[in-house]
Amino acid sequence: MNLKLKNKKIVVTGGSKGIGLEIAKSFSKEGCSVFINSRDLKNLKKAKKKINDKNLYIFPGDLTSVTETRKFYEFVKKKTNQIDSLICNIGYSTPNNTIGEENYENWINSIHLNLLSTINSIYYFKKLLKKSKTSSVVCIASICGVDSLGAPIDYSVSKAALISFVKNQAKILAKNNIRINAVSPGNIFFKNGNWDHKIKKNKKEVINYIKNNVPLNKFGTTKNVADIVMFLSSELSSFTTGANIIIDGGQTK
């Protein structure tokens, strides 16, 4: 299937590892110019080495900050006068000792990382998206924003807000022919990721959890997520906006 993405300009936030890195690699393989961001310059340099593409550009910065987001936007703008897709992948679940007793700091961190980083990115990059005839935004949410699954409540609520933001923003961005969709992954395994750490801690418990909660009885992969993101960024999904695509092996009800 030809996604017709060659020579497209793509921005991936949180693109230095895990799902974000896989998305950046996938676009690079399609012949796209890819701009990736992370707060960690060391991880960005590792990502650039792994992808090994002269059309991959890295920029360190914290996109929960309006100032840092503007700097990233200006960096991209100097390289190109338009982008075709913006992938908002920044997100994090802050650890809590007891679910339901999240403190103020947990809430602030979750809202900034899982919601405001996306809002900041769209505010600036829509200026470059407007200039593309096939522009698209994809936001990485979570099934924790769809169902109550025992995750930290601050994380779940901030991801639910992100999904709502996508649904509402779709009508606004459509006026400029920009599509926006969300992708909500379930249990995605990758090296040094959350599930990798849990397996190392208690493999039997994790196996039982997947068996009892995921009908397909397996983890998803970062490629599973990247494939859907690629589709939503292509003209093959030209009539899709405001949607939330769930990738969870059948876990959510």
**What CATH number does the domain containing 234 carry?**
3.40.50.720
Whether residue 219 contacts residue 114, with contact meaning beta carbons closer than 8 Å, is answered with: no
Classify residue 212: in a domain, yes or no: no
The backbone torsions φ and ψ at residue 245, rounded to the nearest 5 degrees and listed phi first, read: -95, 120
**181-221 pLDDT, tens digit each:** 999 999 999 998 889 999 999 999 999 999 999 999 999 99
Classify residue 214: in a domain, yes or no: no
> How far apart (Å, rounded) are the C-alpha atoms in residues 208 and 242?
35
Query: Residue 235 sits in which domain range?
Result: 9-190+221-247
Report how many domains make up the chain: 1
**195-204 pLDDT, tens digit each:** 999 999 999 9
Residues paired with 38 in a beta bridge: 60
Question: Distance of CA 173 to CAs 24, 126, 168, 170, 176, Å?
Answer: 24, 8, 9, 5, 6
Classify residue 67: in a domain, yes or no: yes
pLDDT at 10: 98
Closest C-alpha to 88, from 171, 177, 134, 23:
23
Classify residue 65: in a domain, yes or no: yes
Classify residue 35: in a domain, yes or no: yes
pLDDT at 193: 87
pLDDT at 79: 97
Residues paired with 33 in a beta bridge: 9
Query: Is the pTM above the cut of 0.85?
Result: yes
Contacts of 54 (CB under 8 A, 6+ apart): none
> How far apart (Å, rounded) are the C-alpha atoms in residues 91 and 12?
13
pLDDT at 253: 83
- In 3-state terms, what secondary structure has residue 27? helix
Strand duo 244-247 + 56-60: pairing: unpaired
Classify residue 20: in a domain, yes or no: yes
8 burial type by CB count under 10 A (0-12 exposed, 13-18 middle, 19+ buried): buried
pLDDT at 1: 66
pLDDT at 194: 87
Whether residue 40 contacts residue 64, with contact meaning beta carbons closer than 8 Å, is answered with: no
Kindly give the parts of the chain with pLDDT less than 50. none
